[in-house]
Structure 1
């Protein structure tokens, strides 16, 4: 069994594959993400506006209530006797009614002397609602009232030493005003009113939960709509892909089902029309190809009989050429040469027709490519000497075996070497042989005219020539490389070409060690080492 990390990696790979291949998933995910971003921005804006509205409304109320309380206090003090009343008693008479009203209205009160001491409220003998922690009043607000000052307020964090009815701990507002006590030589005192924001906090939490619930439902709705819309678009595309794959596999009768009259239906109709036209053209091309193959095969076979007769007459004339005058002698020799070339052309055409008909078969055995290279060099030595060219073999000292048809492999290498001699420009040609445990290869390297851009793929076309004005010195038919490519494919191998103008070319034949074994690499490089160094 696989370990948890391997299962996790497998799951991640499957998820990534699904993400790459599914347009519907990407559309839904993109739509949901964009919607989530929009909902988040709008929700944050609404929450901010709601919070500011609740807080501003609460501030206005508590400040107005605190000002009313302070106004009542000042009215009572205006009618209070002066020094005939005890100072402590006047403070109690002042603060106790406020504390009592605060218990019913949900606020706490503090009465403290307004002295520039810079200390805490406890230092000045303050009177306050029991259970209230005097640290609930920010020090900055206390210092604001060290001297005469107008009414002020600020936010705070209410703390208590014991529960106070109607005043929970948490965020709150402090409003402060100054009053003058006649019993204390008209000294100034500060009244602090503390109001809780717990109700607003609860309201804001309720609004936040409502927004989150609404956002989640909205995103689910958007995801469902996006999935439905994407499905309506992607489903016909997937059907078109399946039909296209079946068409590519040769099932030319496959068509898309057309429903409706919308753009997708019109696309399906256009697709079906295109498939019908392609089917018609492919059948026409198949018929033309069949007729062409039959024509080539029939002509090749039919020419055999007259060629045999002409060959017999030509041999008689060639044998008796010594008794002819010079002009007749030259004509007899030209006749013999062209008959040889004509026989090679007919043989190549018959071989091509067998490939086209799928009738070519292999007579496989273990073949040593080193021996093949040396035999081909011996076969082409006369042609190479005629062109003042040397063909050199570079290979391992041991055998380089591959399961192949020796006749076809020799023909491939002979065609490559002959082609190289034609284009070597009197420079040496190198046959490189190499192999490994999976494949064996032969490369033919020349330093002649080379190949231009794009010509490495065209060089295997039938009757193709890089330079039509260039004369053939080997008497080739123009089918050699095409036959070589077909022979290579029959073995399941590779036949590749490389070239640069003025730097020559290199053709590489790669065969599997065993027939049917897939090729993954070649033991020889396609681009020559000397070309890499000069590049």
Structure 2
């Protein structure tokens, strides 16, 4: 859009491009995509192409300079030779006129016979002067306007060969008439027959004939030979330039290949190392810089292989230790549990201190059994022994069971659990036991950290995905801790009182359950603004997850909230109504949803996504625009402070 070019009126804004323009742009852009991709990925091609372009520019510049110098030299040589030839011809014409004038005076005297022979004399003079040129030049004799004998001027002009007298420019004739010195001008020789005009240098002078009348004599020197010489030089320079450019391109190709080939080899070996083939090494030959690079690369690969093997061995030992300890503790724990149950049943017969100890013993045994069950589950995931028993289930039933189980805790905390989006069935192929475990962990944590405020559980389905989001309005999450929220045994605030006695493994097991489904578990939060955890699963086990029907960052977050909504504190009903994009039929009477506010789409970083994040983002980027599929979410939406689990 040009503001100064008046393509649009002042103040007008440019709208979207016309569909035909966009279609033409895509039609032009599509064939260029492979070439552009090759250009970006092939450094050897870029170096060789740059070398060829620069060499071509230098050769063209040098050729123009050389051709200019040769042309100027040929023109100067031709002009000097023409000036000498024309001066000799003018001198011969003057001598012939003088001799004929002397003979006329010695003869019959001044009679009309001498005047009548002037035309024949001019014809003979032109033929005499032109005979010495042998095609190197032509001679033209024209009458002069300053002549005193009118009938001489009335005779036609004389020219040698088939040269037309109008080849002499009019301004040159005027100059010759006004002076007595020779004048020259560049022009063209026009022939009487068919053919193109020839460039030439024209030299003329005003002379007197045998009767003393003025006439104009011109020499026309064509540049035929010079043009042939210049064409030969151009052809030679073009051939030499092409050869030089091709030679430089070949040299650049060979030189760059010697450098790029080891780099490509290192890149390929790096990819194989990343794929787990730790025994791959570069082939090293010679003692140059590339060879030293290969040796350093091989040493690095060897050290990495050693470290990875040590870490793998340590990891195997840790997993085996956890598994063995977990299994070995089950038998004594069962015995202790039986004894604790007996003591707990008879606690009324004990004194108050002993009875209280029996109750504490049973509570701590419950926590220990929970920790042991979590350790066993983690060991199954580590060993790859976790099995998915998927079947079509309605997530509404799972959510209702989880909410019913969390109601006692919610009543104790003064929290209300509200379910949204449960009007229509939300069917997916999933393991009901694992999904219920994930949602129970999310809901219980939301209630525990919601500080008595409402907790919203939202269900949605779209495209090939289903999602369940748990939103609380408690302490929220701090930025920078989202990468650790699913770590094992990690707690945001270890000193925080925990009424339910978490083990620190809940979210770790939850994210493994999500991955087992090919799903996605993410967290979002802001300090003082609550948090939201979202579980996204493919509708069928064969589907590829491309996004989530629920945005990770809710529309009632501070960033998405309108300024006039951010100042006053809202009651619980209005705060619940601001949970994103629900059908109007799902709202209780008296509640009106806030208008949706579009959040800016942050860039996706697959490495920061829990679960199958890389696959989710890649699939979302490949989805066509305008698709009715779910909106892909990004890790930036999940930044926040993780709650202690």
**TM-score for the superposition, normalised by structure 1:** 0.91
Please, which of 140, 144, 159 is the counterpart of residue 110 of structure 1? 140
Deviations, residues 183-221 of structure 1 (Å, cap 9, x unaligned): 23xx54322111110111111111111111111112221
Equivalences for 1:376-387 in 2 at 5 Å?
A: 376-387=402-413
Equivalences for 1:193-232 in 2 at 5 Å?
A: 193-232=219-258
Contact 1:114 1:147 in 2 (8 A): no
- Matched residue SS, 1:296: helix
State how far apart, in whole Å, the 1-side matches of 2:140 and 2:514 are. 104
Q: In the alignment, what sits opposite 2:401?
A: 375
Q: In the alignment, what sits opposite 1:451?
A: 477
State how far apart, in whole Å, the 2-side matches of 1:488 and 1:419 are. 17
How big is the shift at 1:313?
3.3
Equivalences for 1:10-409 in 2 at 5 Å?
A: 12-78=32-98, 80-81=101-102, 84=109, 86-87=114-115, 89-90=117-118, 92-93=120-121, 96-105=124-133, 106-115=136-145, 125-162=156-193, 169-181=197-209, 183-184=211-212, 187-409=213-435
CA 1:279/1:88 → structure 2, altered by over 3 Å: closer, same or farther?
Answer: farther
CA 1:146/1:322 → structure 2, altered by over 3 Å: closer, same or farther?
Answer: farther
- Matched residue SS, 1:511: strand
CA 1:125/1:98 → structure 2, altered by over 3 Å: closer, same or farther?
Answer: closer
Contact 1:122 1:134 in 2 (8 A): no
Q: Which runs of 5+ in 1 are unaligned?
A: 1-5
State how far apart, in whole Å, the 2-side matches of 1:454 and 1:355 are. 27
- Matched residue SS, 1:226: helix
State how far apart, in whole Å, the 1-side matches of 2:190 and 2:329 are. 116
State how far apart, in whole Å, the 2-side matches of 1:231 and 1:206 are. 37
- Matched residue SS, 1:430: strand
Deviations, residues 242-272 of structure 1 (Å, cap 9, x unaligned): 2222211111111111111111111111111
Deviations, residues 370-404 of structure 1 (Å, cap 9, x unaligned): 11111111111111122211111102422211111
State how far apart, in whole Å, the 2-side matches of 1:229 and 1:247 are. 28
Contact 2:344 2:359 in 1 (8 A): yes
How big is the shift at 1:335?
2.3
Contact 2:283 2:294 in 1 (8 A): yes
Contact 2:176 2:182 in 1 (8 A): no
State how far apart, in whole Å, the 2-side matches of 1:223 and 1:352 are. 60
Deviations, residues 103-133 of structure 1 (Å, cap 9, x unaligned): 441211222233279xxx9978433225221
State how far apart, in whole Å, the 1-side matches of 2:265 and 2:470 are. 49
Q: In the alignment, what sits opposite 2:21?
A: none
**TM-score for the superposition, normalised by structure 2:** 0.76
CA 1:150/1:401 → structure 2, altered by over 3 Å: closer, same or farther?
Answer: same
Q: In the alignment, what sits opposite 1:533?
A: 560
Higher alpha-carbon deviation: 429-438 or 401-410: 429-438
Please, which of 481, 487, 493 is the counterpart of residue 461 of structure 1? 487
- Matched residue SS, 2:188: strand
How big is the shift at 1:174?
0.4
CA 1:342/1:268 → structure 2, altered by over 3 Å: closer, same or farther?
Answer: same
Report the RMSD for the aligned CA atoms in angstroms: 2.7
State how far apart, in whole Å, the 1-side matches of 2:520 and 2:493 are. 25
How big is the shift at 1:358?
0.9
CA 1:70/1:301 → structure 2, altered by over 3 Å: closer, same or farther?
Answer: same
State how far apart, in whole Å, the 2-side matches of 1:170 and 1:396 are. 94
State how far apart, in whole Å, the 2-side matches of 1:52 and 1:204 are. 10
**Residue 505 (structure 2) pairs with residue 505 (structure 1):** no
Q: Which runs of 5+ in 2 are unaligned?
A: 1-25, 563-645
Contact 1:115 1:147 in 2 (8 A): no
State how far apart, in whole Å, the 2-side matches of 1:243 and 1:405 are. 40
State how far apart, in whole Å, the 2-side matches of 1:454 and 1:124 are. 106
State how far apart, in whole Å, the 2-side matches of 1:511 and 1:454 are. 26
- Matched residue SS, 1:157: strand
Q: In the alignment, what sits opposite 2:586?
A: none
CA 1:89/1:162 → structure 2, altered by over 3 Å: closer, same or farther?
Answer: farther
CA 1:196/1:298 → structure 2, altered by over 3 Å: closer, same or farther?
Answer: same
Contact 1:73 1:94 in 2 (8 A): no
CA 1:520/1:95 → structure 2, altered by over 3 Å: closer, same or farther?
Answer: same
How big is the shift at 1:169?
4.0
State how far apart, in whole Å, the 2-side matches of 1:321 and 1:124 are. 152
How big is the shift at 1:527?
1.6
- Matched residue SS, 1:145: helix
Contact 2:93 2:125 in 1 (8 A): no
State how far apart, in whole Å, the 1-side matches of 2:406 and 2:422 are. 22
- Matched residue SS, 2:178: coil
CA 1:179/1:382 → structure 2, altered by over 3 Å: closer, same or farther?
Answer: same
State how far apart, in whole Å, the 1-side matches of 2:202 and 2:463 are. 89
Higher alpha-carbon deviation: 43-52 or 94-103: 94-103
Contact 1:107 1:195 in 2 (8 A): yes
State how far apart, in whole Å, the 2-side matches of 1:395 and 1:289 are. 43
How big is the shift at 1:8?
11
- Matched residue SS, 1:380: helix
- Matched residue SS, 1:534: coil
Greater share of helix: 1
State how far apart, in whole Å, the 2-side matches of 1:201 and 1:194 are. 16
How big is the shift at 1:92?
4.5
